[in-house]
Structure 1
Amino acid sequence: MLKDVIIKKKTLHFDEPFQIAYEKVETADVVIIKITDNQGKYGLGSAAPDKEVTGETIDKVYNILLRKLNKEFFEFPVSDWLKYHEKIQSEFRNFPSAASSVEEAILNLFASQNKITLFDIFGHYRQKCPIVITIGIKSIDKTLQEVRGRLKEGFKIIKLKCGLDWRKDVVRIKAAKQILPHQCQLILDANQGYTLSQAINFIKSISRFGISLIEQPVSAKDIIGLKKLTQLKSVPIIADESAVSLDDAKRLLSGNYVDGINIKLMKCGGPINFIEIFRLARSFKKIVIVGCMYESNISITTGASLALALPIDYVDLDSGHLDFSDDPVQGGASVKKGEIFIKDKLKLNF
């Protein structure tokens, strides 16, 4: 039985403003859940809603969690987390980040009760792995300065945000690629910034640069456009905002609309759905990225646990402690010399 359920909103502050195609952000709002059993063991979960992607707002997520998540909700032992998965998907339909936060909290409590970690639950494929580091849209000089700094820190996979002006993007990307050592990769994320014709021109212009992939060049609704870009066979095309739900993933992957998919806990509704989408993508021999929204290190740690348990191609989990100095969570996922690993148990300070 549970002794306590705590649900709180928290505003996290970026160390510096972050620009992508459709927004410039300085803060990120998250909801943090803490469930505690009668022995004092606790599990943490966190929701990071993004209205542009999932249609959720922070207030809607907070209110539905406040309304539904009480002691009576937890009618089974947390060891029955598969039963909870079905209940969560039903109770929090159309609220994927809320669903993910509840499933995280239950799995974390189960792990705590059994003196194990999520890493132990999901599997031990590897102890650490390279992580993507993302650079927002900024001037060429500032971009190159940050690229050089990240290389010195040990990062070997650089992601550049783009999507505001395809011609300027080409110049900036070419400059960044020229200073990358041959063993490093450059990937791109346009966040729906281009029209189809702009995306075609952009991709043709960068095809000789040796770009590893580009995420979501066109609108999330334009899956026909994604397919046309994929058929160019110039740069691998990855679905992100187009692939929110499990059904979205099935349609895009089975129809060969894209070369790969970016799976995010906040989009898909939790770790169990994540694993199902991963297996589906692998069955079609597609590229898999584990990505994130602007998240607390609680959910980043869940994503990292999945990344270390599964043979995921790209681990794009550079939020949490890498973005926010005021994240109220200590421990969990950590990054050193461009690699992510699980340092120790999550601890909450609020």
Structure 2
Amino acid sequence: MIIEKIKTKRIAVPLRKPFKTALRTLETAEAVIVTIHCDNGLTGFGEAPPTIVVTGDSLESIEGAIQHTIRPALTGMDVTNFEQVFQKLHRILVRNTSAKAAVDMALFDLLAKKMNVPLYQYLGGYQNELETDYTVSVNAPEEMGEDAVEYVNDGFTVLKVKVGIDDIHKDIERISEIRKRIGNDIKIRLDANQGWNPKDAVFAINKMADMDLGVELVEQPVKAYDFEGLKMVTDSTITPIMADESVFSPEDALRIITNRCADLINIKLMKSGGIYKAEAINRLAEAAGIECMTGSMIETRVGISAAAHFAASKKNVTRFDFDSPLMLKEDIVNGGMVYSKNKITMQTEPGLGITSVGEFEEAYK
């Protein structure tokens, strides 16, 4: 299964509602779609959104890395010798994790198609159905409360609530308002996106616990580089703490695990550089008794399908954050995993199950 062509094209899909976090506000989902074409007629699909505030990757840098470095390096290689291919993909350039992830997805899509099985089965096949949370963007408490009620009425039983944009007391007010509106049966997860300092984080998390607001976990309360601050928050609170932006690589995960800086790890393919390295992170975490969540950036069902297939294949991945395709005004992806409200079902077709993205094949470079 020889790689003959690697192509890219850009896509842009408006969001139904602006997506707001402590790091950015987004109104349109942009991405680079990648296809890898092999001599046996199979095509693999991948996706990389630009998330400059997290990965440092832009549309231009993603396309440049794929077209000028990855494409010439991998063209002519045999995908079935996948250890050679993935080692080369991660050796030929540093960082550029989003570009690597898109190519990695397409390679795994091809491998599963070659075996004629869905990707989650190729990777381990632990389960074929997942429950995703839904994200409440950070806004005024009243608006967030209204949004939370809307999502619960739509069938979601787990909400991921964004905080960390301004005063710590305002964040407590936000969660209090949401809990008041939705009752006690809905899970609430917080994501500060690095927006707090360690002392404020400890105060806020313990205060919310004292108020019995029922916060399941808090994701990345402090700056990504502040491993000591993350450990301080973990050691000083009963509420489980999850590392997200602090973990890009297996080496980052090992540091978190060795120093017990967090209770949980959020694996995202755009940070790890794809499934190949994500598997290594999960294995390290599982050996240490640390459960993982698999999350995503603002992606279409191409990237989310790859992340969901990885997550469904692993017993140690116990939480799922795959709501972004539901935020888009239009679904431009044909095939792939299927949504039914908060439930995601893996398709039975081989690989990612995706047949096309957008209308114009000639748009690929």
Structure 2 length-normalised TM: 0.90
Question: Which residue of the partner structure matches residue 160 of structure 1?
Answer: 161
| SS in structure 2 of the partner of residue 169 of structure 1 | helix
Cα 1:89–1:327 change in 2 (3 A) is farther
| SS in structure 1 of the partner of residue 80 of structure 2 | coil
| SS in structure 1 of the partner of residue 260 of structure 2 | coil
Separation (CA, whole Å) in 2 of partners of 1:221 and 1:113: 40
Question: Which residue of the partner structure matches residue 354 of structure 2?
Answer: 346
Q: Which of 300, 319, 322 does residue 314 from structure 1 map onto?
A: 319
| SS in structure 2 of the partner of residue 30 of structure 1 | strand
The code of the aligned residue for 1:75 comes to G
Identity fraction in percent: 29
The code of the aligned residue for 1:193 comes to G
Higher mean alpha-carbon deviation, 140-149 vs 273-282, is at 140-149
On the 8 A contact 2:4/2:76 being kept in 1, the answer is no
The code of the aligned residue for 1:35 comes to I
Separation (CA, whole Å) in 1 of partners of 2:236 and 2:328: 39
Question: Which residue of the partner structure matches residue 363 of structure 2?
Answer: none
Question: Once superposed, which parts of structure 1, at least 4 consecutive aligned residues long, lie more than 6 Å away?
Answer: none
On the 8 A contact 1:85/1:103 being kept in 2, the answer is yes
| SS in structure 2 of the partner of residue 347 of structure 1 | strand
Question: Which residue of the partner structure matches residue 220 of structure 2?
Answer: 216
Structure 2's unaligned 5+ residue stretches are 361-365
On the 8 A contact 1:49/1:266 being kept in 2, the answer is no
Question: Which residue of the partner structure matches residue 115 of structure 2?
Answer: 114
- TM superposition shift of 1:39: 4.0
Question: Which residue of the partner structure matches residue 246 of structure 1?
Answer: 250
| SS in structure 2 of the partner of residue 82 of structure 1 | helix
Per-residue displacement from partner, 1:260-316 (whole Å, max 9, x unpaired)? 111100001110211111111112212311011112211110111112111212101
Cα 1:87–1:72 change in 2 (3 A) is closer
Per-residue displacement from partner, 1:220-250 (whole Å, max 9, x unpaired)? 1211111111011321111111112221111
On the 8 A contact 2:191/2:220 being kept in 1, the answer is yes
Question: Which residue of the partner structure matches residue 274 of structure 2?
Answer: 270
Per-residue displacement from partner, 1:163-220 (whole Å, max 9, x unpaired)? 0221111111012123445442110000011122221221122113221100111111
Question: Which residue of the partner structure matches residue 188 of structure 2?
Answer: 186
| SS in structure 2 of the partner of residue 5 of structure 1 | strand
- TM superposition shift of 1:103: 1.3
Separation (CA, whole Å) in 2 of partners of 1:119 and 1:138: 36
Separation (CA, whole Å) in 2 of partners of 1:90 and 1:296: 28
Higher mean alpha-carbon deviation, 68-77 vs 58-67, is at 68-77
On the 8 A contact 2:249/2:281 being kept in 1, the answer is no
Aligned residues: 349
In the TM superposition, 1:87-166 aligns within 5 A as 87-164=88-165, 165-166=167-168
| SS in structure 1 of the partner of residue 251 of structure 2 | helix
Question: Which residue of the partner structure matches residue 286 of structure 1?
Answer: 290
Separation (CA, whole Å) in 2 of partners of 1:3 and 1:204: 56
Separation (CA, whole Å) in 2 of partners of 1:193 and 1:233: 17
Tell me the C-alpha RMSD between the 2 structures: 1.8
Q: 1:297 and 2:301 equivalent?
A: yes
Separation (CA, whole Å) in 2 of partners of 1:317 and 1:121: 20
Separation (CA, whole Å) in 2 of partners of 1:337 and 1:11: 24
The code of the aligned residue for 1:318 comes to D
Higher mean alpha-carbon deviation, 113-122 vs 130-139, is at 113-122
